[in-house]
Structure 1
Amino acid sequence: MSSILFTNARLIDPETLSDETGSLLVRDGAIAGRPGPDDSPAADTVVDCDGLCLAPGIIDLGVKVGEPGERHQESFRTAGRAAAKGGVTTMITRPDTMPAIDNPETLEFVLRRAQADTPVNVLPMGTLTKGREGREMTEIGFLMDAGAVAFTDGDHVTRDTRVLSRALTYARSLGALVIAHPQDPGLSRGASATAGKFASLRGLPDVSPMAERMGLDRDMALVEMTGVRYHADQITTARALPALERAKANGFDVTAGVSIHHLTLNELDVADYRTFFKLTPPLRSEDDRQAVVEAVGTGLIDIICSMHTPQDEESKRLPFEEAASGAVGLETLLPAAMRLYHSGALSLPQLFRAMALNPATRLGLASGRLAEGAPADLVLFDPDKPFVMDRWSLESKSKNTPFDLQRMQGRVTGTWLAGREIYRAA
């Protein structure tokens, strides 16, 4: 048995929402307790945290890795390095690959590649319909047996409500979690900005925030009809929040997430057509951003994710309307989240409740907490460390971050997976 004693640490506990100085003992890959100030248990390794923050490792729900089919944008090797450097100990990967992960054989390939090339945990999702085309549902049971932890077609919204209702009914019978992208597909098709004065002045094709509300309303009706376990991948507008609140009040098995980009950026950051800021859904107004931040604080929105979407240079260096959507975020998730901490909008325990505990709870994982017996998946970080983001220093193969050259705070010092060190800052 091996043991590690972390001393002089600022322990960020998302379960008790506490932030206090103390020690943490790890034995044989699991958390063994918190020794008191007068205790000095023997340990093989002692790590003096020097007052830095020690928190559960981040569980990032919705990471895009380019294997199979788009390895030139991101491989499991580069994504794994980026995750470890960013304090992410578990990646929940998306199935919107080429080909899509809609059969057990493709899923098994992904798991083999992930196990061989990544230092972090990788839990893959499968598609809800074959080819993400919204016409025929996948064999959800076989995919679950092969290791799929959830099912989603990503931003390909199923237009045929009958097909979707059948898929949700089947998922409900198996206890599967379905992750949906709440948008009205007709209104949002071809849009690259949120409707408003800014989009009009820039001449960009836009979409009303109501498209998100309409998509969520349809999904909530189907959840009520089928009783499926449901997670909205991104809620980004104030107008969608009442529908989410009603669904939770009615006792539906519903959770929601939001990307760190929609929590820390707004539509004005697009400025003069900066394509690194082109996302799906598009960046919203400042009022929407503040409403969503408040919803994370109250717990109405459960999960913060990076929505890591690598795109190569050729895909981004195009006119704004034609450029690919998405941004990388595995390494920038934590420092971007520190913006919310330093602004006083959210505390560190609230942030790690949304980035670690809630994703673990939703997926039935034992990690995401500092409780005794939990896996010792940990991140040590300095929330105050200033730096200027240089996209060329990222471990990700693609460098499409909207935070390039921005002043940021928050650096990961070390990352541990089941008590094994997988990253240590130089």
Structure 2
Amino acid sequence: MTTQAYLITGGTTPDGVRNDVLLDAGEVLAVGADATAQAVERSAEHVDATGRIVLPGLVDLHTHLREPGREDAETVETGTRAAAMGGFTSVHAMANSTPVADTAGVVEQVWQLGREAGWCDVHPVGAVTVGLAGEKLAELGAMAASRAQVRMFSDDGICVWDPVLMRRALEYVKSFDGFIAQHAQEPRLTDGAQMNESELSSVLGLPGWPAVAEESIIARDVLLADHVGSRLHVCHVSTAGSVEIIRWAKSRGIQVTAEVTPHHLLLTEELVRSYDPVFKVNPPLRREADVMALREGLADGTIDTVGTDHAPHPAEAKQCEWSVAAMGMTGLETALPVIQQSMVDTGLLDWAGVARVMSMTPAIIAGLTDQGLVSAEGVLQSSVPANITVYDPRETRVVDPEQHTTKSRNSPYRGMTLPGRVTDVFLHGHRVVADACLATPRRASS
């Protein structure tokens, strides 16, 4: 494949230094003065990033691409286009498709669709149990040995509630350095729940979803992970109590990592007063105190990553009464602006911190070998894959889901003013987003 060299000029790398960055042959060849010197001999195309942040490509451990089976909501093609527009060069596609991604055949199908689309790398997530039914383990070893090389397993949307089955899953994946990503929700405590359990849920007459339903499963699972010496990842942490349990587990050296969604860092249960189902999500929007605890947990490293939990739905699943509406929100195209508003503009994270929680750490958790990483200090390095996101934090715009690339329109940020915009994205050195518009996909060889 013939590649074009690019010189990204005038941008600021995550360490806060203004640097030129040279990309060629799918790698970051040089950063700083060396980049400028080598660009001429390589006939590099210049990309003006003055006033912008040059980040390593974003990695999402929690995306719903819906295909196969729910192409009315999203496809791998449309979902990865949205991912690219949001600055993501790698996404992990959750297993709750139809059929469920619980066999080598299904995960390989999703993996191949991602390669054919060419907008970002797609890593399928395998189901923990057959059909997400929570009764017996899925083909974990076969999925790990497939071309998709699955290492992350989750029944996301449904909790692996049986402690014996969860223990067996943790033991099994340990043999090939896999990990279980748990949807922490005790089903008996959330039967019929519609929103966060609080004074507000009583006022609104909606069945409550108690924080302890999440916290009790996390507490159980960190103890199981410690017992078998395996890796646990906690999906979409949403309560202050969950943050404290994870902080305690990490202090004991337990192999637990955790993610938080952008919407749980910005939105609160107060929005449910509108009864607009766009704000119905699992886990539910929580109290302001929970939002503040989640922000602090992400800032101090208790929470490791930001996972979008991008959950597209067709219009009829959201434009209905609250009690029957589907749970979930889109999030790929607004993730970085929400993180800027909730974490950077509030002084809780700098851009090196953003690179840590949205690129470096999720890539390390997933064991990706094709993701360009920054150092611990946030310094963009040479001789790494050229997965790069250029972001302009100075722009502001009113969110209009009708303009989004995703197939669905269930964004909770409609009408809100958010900062920042992704302007350019390079996937293995190929420019898939140029000047805030989709360019051309990178077609991988079979």
Q: Do both proteins adopt the same fold according to a TM-score greater than 0.5, normalized to the shorter chain?
A: yes
Q: Which amino acid aligns with 2:204?
A: R
Aligned twin of 2:139? 139
Deviation at residue 3 of structure 1 after TM alignment: 2.8
SS in 2 for 1:110: helix
Q: Is the 8 A contact 1:9 1:23 kept in 2?
A: yes
1:150-180 Cα offsets, whole Å, 9 max, x none, are: 1011121123221221222111223211111
Q: Is the 8 A contact 1:236 1:262 kept in 2?
A: yes
Q: 2 CA distance for matches of 1:101 and 1:11?
A: 38
1:190-223 Cα offsets, whole Å, 9 max, x none, are: 2121111111111111121122111111111211
Structure 2 vs 1, CA of residues 318 and 372 (structure 1 numbering), >3 Å: closer, same or farther? same
Aligned twin of 1:375? 385
Structure 2 portions without partners, runs of 5+: 375-379, 438-446
Q: 1 CA distance for matches of 2:295 and 2:84?
A: 26
Aligned twin of 1:69? 69
Residue 419 (structure 1) aligned with residue 429 (structure 2): yes
Q: 1 CA distance for matches of 2:100 and 2:10?
A: 46
SS in 1 for 2:152: coil
Moved over 3 A (4+): none
Q: Which amino acid aligns with 1:68?
A: P
Which residue, out of 337, 343, 352, partners 1:349? 352
Q: 2 CA distance for matches of 1:196 and 1:391?
A: 30
Q: 2 CA distance for matches of 1:352 and 1:192?
A: 34
SS in 1 for 2:322: coil
What percentage of residue pairs aligned between the two structures are identical? Answer: 31
Q: 1 CA distance for matches of 2:415 and 2:268?
A: 17
Aligned twin of 2:179? 177
SS in 2 for 1:386: strand
Answer with 343-352 or 408-417: which moved more. Answer: 343-352
Q: Which amino acid aligns with 1:55?
A: L
Which residue, out of 297, 300, 311, partners 2:299? 297
Deviation at residue 39 of structure 1 after TM alignment: 5.5
Structure 1 portions without partners, runs of 5+: 13-17
Q: Is the 8 A contact 1:2 1:27 kept in 2?
A: yes
Structure 2 vs 1, CA of residues 88 and 39 (structure 1 numbering), >3 Å: closer, same or farther? closer
Aligned twin of 2:89? 89
Deviation at residue 62 of structure 1 after TM alignment: 1.0
Q: Is the 8 A contact 2:171 2:228 kept in 1?
A: yes
Aligned twin of 1:46? 46
Q: 2 CA distance for matches of 1:35 and 1:382?
A: 20
Q: Is the 8 A contact 2:170 2:179 kept in 1?
A: no
Q: Which amino acid aligns with 1:123?
A: H
Aligned alpha-carbon RMSD (Å): 1.6
Aligned twin of 1:400? 410
Residue 23 (structure 1) aligned with residue 33 (structure 2): no
Q: Is the 8 A contact 1:92 1:125 kept in 2?
A: yes
Q: Which amino acid aligns with 1:407?
A: T
Residue 364 (structure 1) aligned with residue 367 (structure 2): yes
SS in 1 for 2:11: strand
Q: TM-score, normalising length from structure 2?
A: 0.91
SS in 2 for 1:171: helix
1:80-137 Cα offsets, whole Å, 9 max, x none, are: 2111111111111100111110011111221222221242110111001100111110
Q: 1 CA distance for matches of 2:350 and 2:328?
A: 27
SS in 2 for 1:51: coil
Q: Which amino acid aligns with 2:96?
A: D
Q: 1 CA distance for matches of 2:86 and 2:194?
A: 29
Deviation at residue 38 of structure 1 after TM alignment: 10
Q: Which amino acid aligns with 2:87?
A: G
Q: Which amino acid aligns with 1:108?
A: E
Aligned twin of 2:442? none
SS in 1 for 2:424: strand
Q: Is the 8 A contact 2:16 2:351 kept in 1?
A: yes
Aligned twin of 1:242? 244
Structure 2 vs 1, CA of residues 39 and 159 (structure 1 numbering), >3 Å: closer, same or farther? closer
Residue 111 (structure 1) aligned with residue 111 (structure 2): yes
Q: Is the 8 A contact 1:22 1:37 kept in 2?
A: no
